[in-house]
A and B are shown apart, each in its own frame.
Chain A
Amino acid sequence: MAVTDPPKIVTSRLEHADSHTLERYLATGGYEGLRQALTMTPEAVAHEVDTASLLGRGGAGFPAGRKWAMLRADPVTYLVVNGDESEPATFKDHLLVERDPHQLIEGSLIAAYALQVSQVFIYVRGEFALGLERVEAAINDAYAHGAVGADIFGSGFSVDIVVHPGAGAYICGEETALLESLEGKRGFPRIKPPFFPAAIGLYGQPTVVNNVETMSNLPWIVRNGGAAFAALGEGRSTGTRLFALAGHVKNPGVFELEMVKTTFGDLINAPVLGGGIPGGRSLKAFIPGGVSAPWFGPDQIDLPLGQDEVGAAGSMLGSGSVVVMDDHTCAVRASWRITKFFARESCGQCTPCREGSGWLEKIMNRIETGEGREEDLDLLLDASDNISPGLSWPPQQTTICVLGPSIPSSIASAIQMFRDEFLVHIKEGGCPYG
């Protein structure tokens, strides 16, 4: 496979240093998609998104068009845009929020019009101080430009957007936790059913929650048609997608690639993308879609970057982040750190997740520091099984949200793939990698 050269759908402006300004946005086709959408019926706009078969870019990959269709029977009250990007090694929304806030706003306005929603909230991760300032400034400018507010562009449609700052909690990326947070509470995920946002969302009203990247695709889809978007990619994975590449590669970064047409190997090694592993080292393993995803080894490098393809291989494309580990990486240390993350970020509502993550972290830590026992491997898998019975993929769930069942992924992967390394830690009382 080769790296294809698709149109840049969400990153077209990033070559400009002033990509975040209204001036640059208007000079590069900005708000044309919204103007066009306002001449169409809301149903026709929604139909284009359906035709595009745009899969949600937040992590779950649910088709945006279908998410909206679920609501057409019952009028939607709120649109909430999820910009609480916190999945480790995922940094694509950070880019879109900071570098092209008007595109995010225009996409949100198009979605609001299609759903006939007059109140939009854009929830931006609190740690994105610059991003918050950029989006807030962009809304002020868009307001002055007539794109937001009462009777936008003289269409008779009125819509308001409020930027809401998060305050540092991974769990708020989960959509029902995000709604709780937006209501001024702790970010505790809600039980589903009945609290599907589409049915009982923000303030108990039907609510659509969509990701920043999903929204950012909409201006292009309206301008070029859903069919043009669907012509890119393959199967259910249409269009382009942002892939955040991090870890042991020469050129880490965010790349907009055509879905399915590029492999993990291309992403990691192509000179125009990752550029390969530095220091003459070789690939040990990679995480294909956020730290909740099971790991892959070098034998999976030819898998295409497609949602169904990665799913069939036993992991997930998830948040679109790929973490590369070279052959000098300690698998115990890497999986311990991921476990520690979950232990710190568990919201504490459900016992298997709250207690399980803490115990798993302690056991992983003692293995890494040379205090491990031989029975610890079985203990880890047993405790993991209590959080996610059977350790299957997709995982079984014992908790309100999917954070819990995400915890065992890295542990189970590391033990399956690098059992010997765990045993060396235990038997020799320390980390062989120093």
Chain B
Amino acid sequence: MSEPVHPVPAANGRRNAPSTAHLTPDRLARARQLIDLYPEPRSALVPLCHLAQEQDGWLTPEAMEDVATLVGVTPAEVFGTASFYDMLHTEPVGRHLVAVCTNIACLLGGAAELLAHAEASLGVNTGGTTPDGAITLEEAECLADCDRTPCVQVNHRFVGGQTPESFDRLMDELRSGAHGDDIPPHGTLNRVARSTGLQADRSEVVAERAAMAEAQAQRAAASQAAKGEGPS
């Protein structure tokens, strides 16, 4: 097994951290490695957003600026893309994102009742964060773990098959840090870094991309020609 390579953020006191959270130098370096995996830099946009979330627990405006510069788009495009995806948070969330699925399989397994219990027990509505910043409660769509209903994820780690009692215990454990590395802080997704890449000759890559661009241009020309010939 490969060991996790890039460091997991240790500090959970990010809610008190200064609001200017640009990507740190080592994360910028890691971001450039991720970009190199793709034929086009923009493909790394979502992976880079995950990287930024790993640092701060959410996508800060400063990090979105960095991502924009790195992949060659505007910060608004980063925000516009990130806001489409449920997992990317453009506002702060708690250290533990607790997602209760209430979709059909979980509904049949008592998920609506569990979510109601969670709201009462945590004292927040769905979508809210507890005052101590420990827990954000979310109602999730199907998380594909339907044989352990109701399905619950904490920071995208599966902890399914919860009862109201086990749920309350789980919340206590999260607050006391009992789960350790099993459930890393919110934002940490893939702790295994790609350790190697295809060592292709740079000139081959350049030639391949030129061929791609030419094929694309030909296709565009053919499609233009087809439009010209079609009924108007």
Contacts and interface: CB of A to CB of B under 8 A. Distances in A.
Nearest to A206: B215
Contact of B156 (A127, A183, A246): A127
B85 A127 contact: no
A344 interface: yes
Contact of B216 (A141, A186, A204): A204
A334 B107 contact: yes
B190 A254 contact: no
Nearest to B151: A91
Secondary structure class of chain B's binding surface, majority of residues: loop
A205 B142 contact: no
B105 A323 contact: yes
Given A88-B105, A149-B199, A126 B189 contact: yes
A126 B198 contact: no
Interface residues of B, number: 62
B102 A337 contact: yes
Which of B2, B142, B145, B195 has its CB near the most chain A CB atoms (within 10 A)? Answer: B142
A158 interface: yes
A245 B109 CA distance: 13
A316 interface: no
B217 to A, nearest CB: 10
Contacts of A118: 198
Contacts of B189: 126, 129, 132, 165
B192 A133 contact: yes
A85 B146 CA distance: 12
A129 B157 contact: yes
A384 B109 CA distance: 28
A61 B42 CA distance: 31
B144 A90 contact: yes
Contacts of B81: 184-186
B174 to A, nearest CB: 16
A99 B193 CA distance: 19
Contacts of A306: none
B88 A139 contact: no
A140 B108 contact: no
Contacts of A139: 194
Contacts of A323: 104-105, 108
Contacts of A287: 104
A247 B81 CA distance: 34
A158 B200 contact: yes
A252 B147 CA distance: 5
B196 A143 contact: yes
Nearest to B82: A167
B103 interface: yes
Contact of B103 (A129, A194, A337): A337
Contact of A127 (B82, B104, B144, B223): B144
A118 B141 CA distance: 35
A86 to B, nearest CB: 6
A246 B147 contact: yes
Interface string A317-355: 000010111000100011001100100110100000000
A291 interface: yes
A91 B50 contact: no
B193 A136 contact: yes
Contact of A168 (B87, B196, B215): B87
Contact of A132 (B37, B145, B190): B190
A165 B73 CA distance: 20
A150 interface: yes
Nearest to A22: B1
B191 A133 contact: yes
B114 interface: no
Given A167-B87, A183-B43, A247-B104, A162 B144 contact: no
Given A93-B144, A137-B1, A160-B197, A184 B45 contact: yes
Interface string A130-173: 10110011011101100001100000001110111111111000
B75 interface: no
B212 to A, nearest CB: 6
A162 B37 contact: yes
A165 B47 contact: yes
Which of A167, A291, A329, A344 has its CB near the most chain B CB atoms (within 10 A)? Answer: A167
A177 B46 CA distance: 14
Given A183-B40, A186-B84, A166 B46 contact: yes
A341 B86 CA distance: 13
B142 A89 contact: yes
A203 interface: yes
Contacts of A169: 84-86
A205 B84 CA distance: 25
Interface of A: 21, 77, 85-91, 93-94, 118-119, 125-130, 132-133, 136-137, 139-141, 143-144, 149-150, 158-160, 162-170, 181-187, 194, 200, 203-205, 244-248, 252-254, 287, 291, 321, 323-325, 329, 333-334, 337-338, 341, 344-345, 347
23 contacts: A77-B212, A89-B104, A91-B146, A91-B147, A126-B50, A133-B190, A165-B50, A167-B86, A169-B85, A184-B43, A186-B81, A203-B212, A205-B215, A245-B147, A248-B108, A252-B147, A291-B103, A321-B146, A323-B105, A329-B108, A334-B108, A337-B103, A338-B104
